[in-house]
Every structure is written in C-alpha cells, then in structure tokens.
A and B are shown apart, each in its own frame.
Chain A
Amino acid sequence: MRVGRLLPVGLISAATLAHEVLLMRLFSIIQWHQFAYMIISIALLGFGASGTFVALARRPLVKWYPAAFAASAALFGITAVASFAGAERLPFNALEVVWNPSQLGWLAASYALLVLPFFFGATCIGLAFSRHPGQIGRVYAFDLVGAGVGALGIVGLLFLVFPSAALRLIAALGFAAAALAATGMGRHRRLAAGSLGLAAAVIAVWLPPSFTATGPHMSQYKGLSMALDVPNAWVVEERSSPLGLLTVVESPTVPFRHAPGLSLANTQEPPAQLAVFSDGDSITAMTAYGGDPATVAYLDRTTAALPYRMLARPRTLVLGAGGGEQVLLALRAGADIVDAVEVNPQMIDLARNRFANFVGGIFSRPNVHLHLAEARAFAATTGERYDLIQMPLLDSFSAAAAGVQSMHENYTYTVEALRDYLAVLKPEGVVAITRWLRVPPRDILKLFATATAALEADGVSQPSRHLALIRSWNTATLLVAKSPFTGEDVAAIRGFAAENFFDISWVPGISASDVNRYNQLDQEYLYEGAVALLGPKRADFTERYKFDIAPATDNRPYFFDFFRWRALPELLTLRTQGGAAMLDWGYLILAATLAQAAILSAVLILLPLWLRRCALGRAVPRLRFGLYFLALGLAFLFIEIAFIQRFVLFLGHPLYAVAVVLAGFLAFAGLGSALAARWVAAVGCGSAVRGITLAVVVIAFLAGTYLLVLPLILERLLALPDAAKIAIALLLIAPLAVFMGMPFPLGLGHVGARSEEFLPWAWGINGCASVLSAILAALLATHIGFTGVVTIATILYLAAPALLAGSWG
C-alpha cells in the first residue's frame, strides 16, 4: 500500500485534533475556560457515535471507501465552521444555570451542533481501519502522527493567526483530506478531487471573517463585554496567541480606576488607565505615568504595599508583571532594582513597546528588568538574591487557556514553589503574596497552610514567627519571611494596617483583641484559621473545614481546587438562598462531564454492541476484548496527562508542556505502532499476545522508573535553554511512548483475525476510553496526585494482555 493512500488519514486526524484544541480556545474566549472539559466530552460523543455508525454501515462504506472517506472529510470541513458559527449564536448563559435549568436545553443544543465535525472526522478514521484490516499498525501510525502534528501545529498556528481564522484553515484541511481521498475513486475522480481542492482553497481564503468572529458573541457577562458597553470605550489593540486573547481597552468617559485592595482611607483618584483583558475577562491595568511618583501615591494604600514599610530600597522580584502596577509600586517605594517576570510575550510587547509612552517607559528603565519566563521556573533558576518577592493578583495563565489541559494545576502556589522562593531571598528577605478575599475564606487559608508547610520543610521550628497576614475588605496579603520578624517589623506591620483601616489576621505576638477591627467579619475566620493551622489542631481543622485547604504540592498542584464532596449537599441547598457564589463550578463541571461521558459511552458503545451481539458471532469474547481496549484507552491517556503535568514546570509554561508532551507521545506511539509487527516477530516469536506482554512490562518498568527519578532529573536540568529542554523532554518520552504505541494495533490485529466485525467497536471503545480518561485523570489527580494516576495506568497496562489471552468472556 502506498503511503499516499494513508495521507488523508493523517490529515483528517490532524484536523480533528486541531479542531478539538481550537474549540477549547474559542470557548475560553466566548464563555469561560471550564468549558474545555465539555469540549472533551463533545469529542467523545462524536467518536463514539461514529464507531456505532461505521459498525452498522460497514459493508457499503467499505465498498465505496474513497467516496465515503471523501464525503465524510468534506462534511468535517463544512461542519467545523458551521457548527461553531451556529453554537456561538445560541443564547446560552452558563452563569444562569443555577437559577434557570432551561439553560441546559441550550447547552444540549450546543452539544448537538458541536459534535458533528468530530463525528465526521472520526468516521474517516474508523473507515480506514475497516478498509485496511491487514495494515492496522500503519493506519494507526498515520492516525497518531497526524494527531501529534495537529496538536503541535494548532499551537504554532495560533501564534500566527486569530482563532477565528485558524478555524477556517482547519476546515480547509478537512477538504484537502477529502480531495486527496477522492483521487482513489473509480469514476469522476478528477472532478471530485478538483472541486474538493477548490473548496479547500475557497474556505481558507474567502470565507467571511464575520462568520466565525468571536467578538460579537462573547458572553455579555464577561469583563470585556461590560467594559465595551460603557459610552466611548473602544478596543485600542488586540493580540492573540495560544496563551490567550489580549484586548486593550481605553475608556475615556468613565475611566477604569482599577486598584484592588485599596484602603478606604485613600482619597486619591487613580490616573488614566488602559485595561488589558485576557480572554475577555481577567483584567490587568496599564497606568499612565509621567515620572512623578506622587501621581501613584494611592498604591501605597493597597495591602500589597505592606512589605515596603519594612524594607529599605529592596531588590525586588515581581512574579507576574502584567500591566506593571507592581513595578510602579516598587519604583514609587524606592526599590533599588526590579526584576519583573511575565509569562506572555505579547503582554511584554504591549507594556514595554506598544504602550511604552503611556506607562512612562517604566519597563525600559535601567533598574527595571523584564523577563519572559514562568514565575516558578524563573525563581528556581535565577542566580540573584532578593529582599522582596512580590506576587500580585495575577493568576498565571493556566494550560486551560491553551485549552488542551483538562486540569488547572498551578505550580506557583505549592509547598515546593514557596521553598524555591524562600531559597532566593536574602537572609532578611520577604515573600509577599496578595489574593482576593473570599468569604468564607479559601485561597488565603490554603496559602497560609502551604507557607507553614514550606517553612517547616525548610527546618523552621516556629513558622508562626515568619508569617504575617493582613486584609482589606477585598484582598489579603501574606508575608512569608526568611528570618523571624523582628519587633520593629511587627510595629511597622501594625502601623501600616492601622493607617489604612486594614485588619491584621496574623502577626507574631497577635492576640484575639487585635483582630476584626475595621473590616468586620461575623467571625474572624482568618485569625482562627491561622491559630489552628499553626497549632497542634492543624490536621483536625483542615479535616473539618468545608473547603479543601490542605497545602498544594507539586504532586497535587491544585491550589484553586477547594471542592469537597461532603459540603456539596449543603451548598446545593443554599444555592438559591444567597449561597450560589460558594459553589466551585470547575470541579462540578468536570464531574458532570465525566458522568455524562460515561452515560454516552454506555448508550453509544455498549448498548449497540449488546444489540448486535449476534452479528459478531460466538467466536468473539466480546467482554474480554472490549475490556482490553477500554484498559488501553484509559492507561494511555492517564500516563500522557500525568506527564503533561510533570513537564509543566520543566518546560516553563503549561502550553509548551501540552504541545511537546502531546506531540511526543502521539508521534512516538505512532512510530511504536509502525514497529509493532517487527517487535512481535523479533521478541514475541510471532505471538501478538506475547509481544504485548513484553511491551507492557517495558512500559511498567519505564513508568515506574520515571515516577521515581523524573522530578530529580528535571530539577537539575531546569536551567538549560528551552530548545535543549524540549529535546530532553522528547528523548525521555520517546522510549515509553514507542512501547505504549504497540498494544493497541497488536490487539486490533489479534482481534481482527477472529472477527473483522469487531474492529470498529474496538476503535470506538478505545476512543471513548481515551476521552473518558482525560477527564478521569484530571479528577483522580486532584485526589491521589500524579503518582497515583501513573500507578493505576501501570496496573491497567499489566492487566491488559491477560484480557486478550484469557479463556473467559
């Protein structure tokens, strides 16, 4: 078989995966990034339904293979654009679901539309498997390599074009696959291939941008939409990359005046600002500055200004530069040298170049250095030592912004991260972390617990002497000091708080009479929490708290996951009585998506399988074979996702981890599937089951070894340049992924020799399991960490050969 015959499989596989990633990006813009999970389950629905369809209509589809493939690929191209254009025009409002269950109807309508391209894309691949039962290894190799290229390619493409334009290119890719497939048709070959090729060109070049534009259909409740409703507000600049859509807005009539945590004692109006919205929501401000520090005196009256009261001319590291508010504060406070770290190159370009004059050129000053890096990676590799590390209210872009990652892990606020920060402090240095205050508190107490654990891990016997916590009505700032606070420090903290009507929730020597003076909570949760977390009742307090405030670690880096199942019944009861804001929707959406995916899998895969059990004949042990492909689908993704998480820190950005790890696993697994037949011949003596058994033993050995040594290796190599780190990541992934690519095609060959009818089912079951496991891995990792997830995957791999070779079922 010529390679060209399988090229359309690679193309459509690339287009389908790229479409999945892109949809997550698009929905992060028009809705919120939690919808990334839903896109995964939509893809699942498409894969599952296509498995059923191909199984039911196998004979005619295989007979007319080139035409059927071309038609399905063309339908992918049409529906990729049309389904998104339709779905973004539906009046779905996610925020209203709590109050108005009929919104779920619109959600279902979105599902029904968005599933179509995945159905058609997966149908092409399922057809290819059915058409070439003797070449499964090669088909699978094209499928995987195509998917890998698609994952990496869409990330690269999004650096070049806006997401709405990328959507057109993906649709065009679908048509290109259709045109290539049509060259294999018997009659009308040239006409079909020519017209499909023309369609690809037309879609790529001439499709009106307004058709897929996100701007007009962004949720009206996102910050950007609301800002643009204000008279005379306008978009000055727009930048797009896979890290997010940055929109700069000027609002001359009603200025932004963004200054979270500002004291009620402040009387100064903030100067003119440009707001930078990220994916239409979270806001960072670029503040007009003419060089006179008096014009930004209001910044002295934010909780984040506390450390400057204690430190003279500090060398300052700002982790999360954003629009530069903290750099401005540092300069105003007389910081000697300011190193500012920002993860998004486009944000850097906006602040340092495009709006340099507006922000008074603060990023070009000789004593201000702006670094493009991820916060944690910078702290872990810098050779400098600082008096102050300032972590402002900017949550780093998570991989969810890139869309692929189905968990929002965060390595900025883990125990290990805080130890890294403490390690680059001078002896009298301080880490200052500012977060929004939520009532009842979640983030702040978790941060306090995390800092306590980090200090203890560093051998500090009395962490209470190294911590200080103050709060305004809407923010709180935690100070973590390398050396115990002195009496002078404590006096400075008390003075600063009193001047600004800020409350002290923890400082060495605090007593119950010091707390809850200005911003009164009905109960001083923070002080009580601090006392409990520093005392012998820590474990009991953490256990009894209704939100998860246990310290985040690199193995379980879910700082923003506060969800606890046992609080759910109470919170659900209270949701319409004023308690709607206490429900953490991220976890619930994930759990709901998993439940829905499981139901869809049962309906789409198991039910038709059961109904058509006669067609498969008695020779096929359906249950055993089904479980085999289920186990493989789960295990492959478990390992892949755990590795994505592990490499986030190493590669410096979640997005790069997703792109490199995903592409590495897919491409090397593709290589593995191409080599599978030779592996069986070489070591399995021609027995597929024996070959699989040996492959999974290698997988188990490598996974176990990596689990133990990877964190150590990666930590030591963190300072290498990016290109070297990417190469090392791929080298580490390669051997594992090659062997992980073998069990599926070998299993298919083994099963296909007994019943070709079973092949579409195997493909469907494996596809469903893969997508199911992406969600399941995210949920499991929040509970048992990556180590647990990889352990489960290893067990599944080791059990798989027994399912294939057993005598039951």
Chain B
Amino acid sequence: MRPLAQCQALMATILTSAAAVVSTTVLAQDRLGERAAMIETIKLHARSAPSAVEGQGIDPAVLETIGKVPRHFFVPEEQRGAAYQDRPLPIGYGQTISQPFIVALMTDLINVGPGDTVLEIGTGSGYQAAVLSPLTAKVYSIEIIPELGERAAARLAELRFDNVEVKVGDGYYGWPAQAPFDGIVVTAAASHIPPPLVEQLAKGGRMVVPVGGPFATQFLMLVEKRRDGSITTRQLLPVAFVPLRGGRAR
C-alpha cells in the first residue's frame, strides 16, 4: 500500500473509532427515563421479596449501577423496545438475559465491593458482568457458546467495561489462575455445583446460583464459605409467598 493510502486508511480508522465512541456515549445516555422507571420497579419487587433481600433493601450502589448500564445494548436488535421492561428476554441459543429484578437480587446477594474479584459462569449477553463491573475490581466471565461469548466480549469492550475479561470454554473448572474469588455467579444450568468452583470461592466469599428455567427463576441459591472453610447454602425465594394459608404450621 502506498503511504498516502496508508495515511487515509489510518485516518478513516481513527474517525470511525471516534464516531463509535461518540455514538456509544450518546446511546448510553439514551433511555435514562426508562432505566429510572425500571429501578423503581426493582425496588417495588424487592420490598415484597423479604427472603432474598437482606437488610433495608437492595444496596443503593447496585441500583445506581443498574441505572447506568445501557441494557438495550445487551439485547438483540428486535428486543430493544422491551429492554427496560422487568422481564427476561431471549438472546438466542436457548439463553436469556435475566429479568432486571433477578440481576439486581443476585448482584446484591454476592455482596462484593470495590477491591473484590468476581467470577461469572455463563456470560450470556454480558449484562450481569457489566452490572458487576463498576462495583468490583475485576470480573472474569466464562461462556460455553462461542458465538455468545465473542459477542459479549466485543460488546463489553465497546462499552468500555475494561475490567471484564471474557473467555469461551468449559466453566466447570472455574478460572484457577485468577482464584480465589470473592464472589461467583453461576448462571449456567447445572445438576450440581462443580467442586472446583467451591474450591475457588474465597473464605468469606459468596456464590449465587439461580435455579429454574430460562424464563422462570424458581429460587436463588446462595452458597457461603465461612472463614473456617465450612459451607452452607440458602435457598431464597425471589418473591414473598407463604405456602400455608393463615400463617405458619407451628
């Protein structure tokens, strides 16, 4: 290629990238009102899920992050209109982007902070990783379906979630090189919790596993590794429901 052409190509690349950054920033500012309304819905639902919400409600930092992440970038083109409704949406390959309320609950439950490292099994759309990104130091995410993983990685990079690293592969063994993790989110369905993940959970760390079908979370399982290394789990209903009419069977 001649120097002039090289120069033109370089200029074109720079201009295109700049345009992309500008458009991304503009789009991220898009639909702020819808996001605010979504946050209100999440707060409302959280008030009626005492089992899964600890303390006074979902951590305001979690809600603030959800209010900033442009969810409509994480859903397929044809679903963008519904991106801020409080419901799961199909993203292809039998996977969904979780209901925002469930994402908020899970993020709240693993209870991670600015210095923490988080592992996610099942990147899917990348939305959960994006929500975790501003709250933590580093997010490692593994996706089994190459197309989904590559798409999510590109999207997260484009939106400058720079502390998220995505790889395509088998989530069973976790990410030993980066272990231990202060929090682990397992969104990929499994008949049991892989032992390596329990191993890679830091003492005092928490793992959250949503259990149920792609459009219906039955319960959230919270695995806690205590300081002494012992393990307990809790099954948390994402909704207030007492199975017995007229109170408890005591």
Contacts and interface: CB of A to CB of B under 8 A. Distances in A.
Interface of A: 93, 95-96, 98-100, 220-222, 225-226, 229-231, 253-255, 257-262, 264-269, 438-441, 473-474, 501, 517-523, 525, 528-529, 531-532, 537, 541, 544-547, 570, 574, 576-582
Given A229-B93, A254-B172, A581-B217, A545 B243 contact: yes
Given A525-B243, A577-B101, A519 B235 contact: yes
Contacts of B240: 574
Nearest to B238: A578
B146 A518 contact: no
B125 to A, nearest CB: 15
B216 A580 contact: yes
Contact of B232 (A258, A520, A537): A520
Contact of A473 (B235, B243, B248): B235
B237 A254 contact: no
Contact of B198 (A95, A100, A264): A264
Interface residues of B, number: 61
Contacts of A522: 51, 234-237
B195 A267 contact: yes
A581 B212 contact: yes
Given A100-B82, A581-B212, 7 more contacts: A95-B213, A254-B170, A260-B191, A264-B193, A519-B233, A528-B249, A582-B239
Interface stretch (B3-11, B56-64, B84-92, B155-163): B84-92
Given A520-B232, A578-B102, A253 B170 contact: yes
A529 B249 contact: yes
A442 to B, nearest CB: 9
B244 A98 contact: no
Interface string B209-220: 001111111110
Contact of B215 (A96, A225, A517, A520): A96
Contacts of A578: 45, 49, 52, 99, 101-102, 105, 217, 237-239
A96 B90 CA distance: 9
Contacts of A473: 193, 221, 233, 235
Contacts of A521: 234-235
B2 interface: no
B250 interface: yes
A528 B250 CA distance: 7
A528 B215 contact: no
Contacts of A441: 243
Nearest to A268: B195
Contacts of B172: 254-255, 257, 269
Contact of B191 (A226, A259, A523, A532): A259
A95 B214 contact: yes
Contacts of A576: 86-87
B113 to A, nearest CB: 24
A264 B234 contact: no
A275 to B, nearest CB: 11
A258 B236 contact: no
B227 interface: no
Chain B binding surface, main DSSP class: loop
A170 B64 CA distance: 60
Interface of B: 45, 48-49, 51-52, 82, 85-88, 90, 92-94, 99, 101-102, 105, 144-146, 170, 172, 189-195, 198-199, 211-219, 221, 223, 231-241, 243-246, 248-250
A546 B243 contact: yes
Contacts of A544: 244-246, 249
Nearest to A393: B191
Nearest to B240: A574
Contact of A266 (B82, B102, B195, B250): B195
Contacts of B144: 230-231, 254
A679 B27 CA distance: 82
A258 B189 CA distance: 11
A531 B249 contact: yes
A231 B250 CA distance: 52
A225 B235 contact: no
B20 to A, nearest CB: 30
Nearest to B51: A522
Contacts of A577: 45, 48-49, 101, 238-239
Nearest to B189: A226
A258 B215 contact: no
Interface pairs A-B: 6 shortest CB-CB: A578-B238, A262-B192, A580-B216, A440-B243, A581-B216, A581-B218
A261 B192 contact: yes
Most-contacted residue by chain B among A93, A521, A547, A579 (CB, 10 A) = A579
B149 to A, nearest CB: 10
B232 to A, nearest CB: 6
B216 A541 contact: no
A518 B249 contact: no
A545 B244 contact: yes
A545 B238 CA distance: 20
Contacts of A518: 231-233
Contacts of A581: 212-213, 216-219
B82 to A, nearest CB: 8
Contacts of B243: 440-441, 525, 545-547
B177 to A, nearest CB: 19
B92 A220 contact: yes
Nearest to B102: A578
A582 B240 CA distance: 12
A692 to B, nearest CB: 49
Contacts of A531: 249
A24 B151 CA distance: 38
Contact of A537 (B88, B198, B214, B249): B249
A264 B223 contact: yes
A579 B249 contact: no
Contacts of B239: 574, 577-579, 582
9 contacts: A95-B213, A95-B216, A221-B94, A221-B213, A221-B215, A257-B192, A266-B195, A439-B237, A577-B239
B124 to A, nearest CB: 12
Contacts of A267: 195, 199
Contact of A520 (B85, B94, B170, B235): B235
Given A522-B51, A532-B249, A570 B241 contact: yes
Nearest to A517: B232
A229 B145 contact: yes
Contacts of A262: 191-193
A570 B85 CA distance: 21
A98 B216 contact: yes
A583 B231 CA distance: 32
B233 A99 contact: no
B110 to A, nearest CB: 17
Contacts of B237: 439-440, 522, 578
A546 B245 contact: yes
B231 to A, nearest CB: 5
B121 to A, nearest CB: 12
A525 B248 CA distance: 9
Contact of A95 (B49, B215, B219, B241): B215
Given A230-B144, A259-B191, A225 B102 contact: no
A251 B43 CA distance: 42
Contact of A501 (B231, B235, B249): B231
Contacts of A222: 94
Nearest to B171: A254
Contacts of A230: 144-145
Nearest to B244: A544
Nearest to A260: B191
Nearest to B224: A520
Contacts of B82: 100
B197 to A, nearest CB: 10
Nearest to B214: A221
Contacts of B235: 439, 473, 519-522
A524 to B, nearest CB: 10
Contacts of B49: 577-578
Contacts of B189: 226
B235 to A, nearest CB: 5
